[in-house]
Amino acid sequence: MRRFLSEIIFLLALLPALAAAGKLPTGVLEKKIDSLFVMASAGELRYRDLVEPAIDSIAALGAGAVPRLIEKYDTKDARERLTINNILVEIGSPAVPVLTASLTLTNPEQVSRICYTLGEIKDSTAVEALLESCGHGDWRVRSSAVGALGKIGDRRADREIADRLADSDEMVRKSAAVACGRIACEPSLAALVHMLGDDFYGARWCAAEALEKFGRRAVQPIADSLDSDNIMLGDLGCVTLGKIGGDFAATLLVGQLTSESSRRRALAVRAIGESRSSLACGAVEILAEIETDPIVRYFIDEVLAQYAAR
């Protein structure tokens, strides 16, 4: 068995050289890729030593292997999808022209996966094609395209990413929020604050994580929205200010300690504690003298204990 594996690995290493020399007709090349792919995507333990050599051998074929891999990208098998992505990422920039040209395919699942892979390759020459895909009729394509643009990080995509925060589909909005956080997309700041009150929890929390990455720049816009009629926005705004931290964020939270909502007071107290601001701690001490709600008092005691231990 060990000798057999050694011979297979030797042949795998020889294949790219034959292809580069033009000694493999297209039909033969496709059959060889198919054979290699069976090994590259194998899940059986006995083939584990062949997986990496097979992946490397297909990747070494370069752009010539991309059309066949794209054909396979409509597979229903998760292991095969991951293998295709890994090979294309290993090929890298030479694969991008063929991948971007394939964004016009009719199968939205296939196109969505191509968008994802372009994001993993991170080649800025794919930006224009991905911008067009952000307007695709299928949410899966829009979601993958905006996510890929966030990974690439090209400033040409800032406006499109910000606009997708208002997409009709919740998963697209979530992907856009993640992308905004990756690149600190300035045009998205106000929309991200608004998204703290989004109906979809995934979009809300991704917006909060993105705003945290903006740091101090996000503090005042969030604070200005704490008294919004959208209770979720104000509640998650408090949480986000606490995670951003610092005296500036904490002092803007003090006003929420007098809220009629015990939930809001509790969130504000906890956020002040997370902010690690000594300045705002005095306001929590004052609240401790008059607060009667047991949940709020629990957080007050927790925060004051933390400060006492410092």
Reading the chain (310 residues) residue by residue, the pLDDT tens digits are 444 444 444 444 445 554 444 455 556 778 888 988 988 888 777 778 888 888 998 999 999 999 999 999 999 999 999 999 999 999 999 999 999 999 999 999 999 999 999 999 999 999 999 999 999 999 999 999 999 999 999 999 999 999 999 999 999 999 999 999 999 888 899 999 999 999 999 999 999 999 999 999 999 999 999 999 999 999 999 999 999 999 999 999 999 999 999 999 999 999 999 998 888 888 999 999 999 999 999 999 999 998 877 7
Determine the Cα–Cα distance for residues 199 and 129; give it in Å rounded to an integer. 30
Compute the distance between CA of residue 188 and CA of residue 105 in angstroms, rounded to an integer: 30
* Cβ-contact 40, 84 below 8 angstroms: no
Nearest to 148 by CA among 197, 85, 87, 94: 85
Q: Tokens at residue 243, please?
A: 């995670």
**Radius of gyration, alpha carbons of the chain:** 26
CB-based contact 171:201 (threshold 8 Å): no
233/65 Cα distance (integer angstroms):
49
**What is the DSSP code (8-state) at residue 229?**
S
CA distance 270 to 300: 8
Q: What is the largest CA-CA distance in the chain?
A: 85
Answer yes or no: are the C-beta atoms of 224 and 243 closer than 8 Å.
Answer: no
144, 119 in Cβ contact below 8 A?
A: yes
Distances (CA, A) of 149 to 119, 152, 155, 264: 6, 5, 9, 36
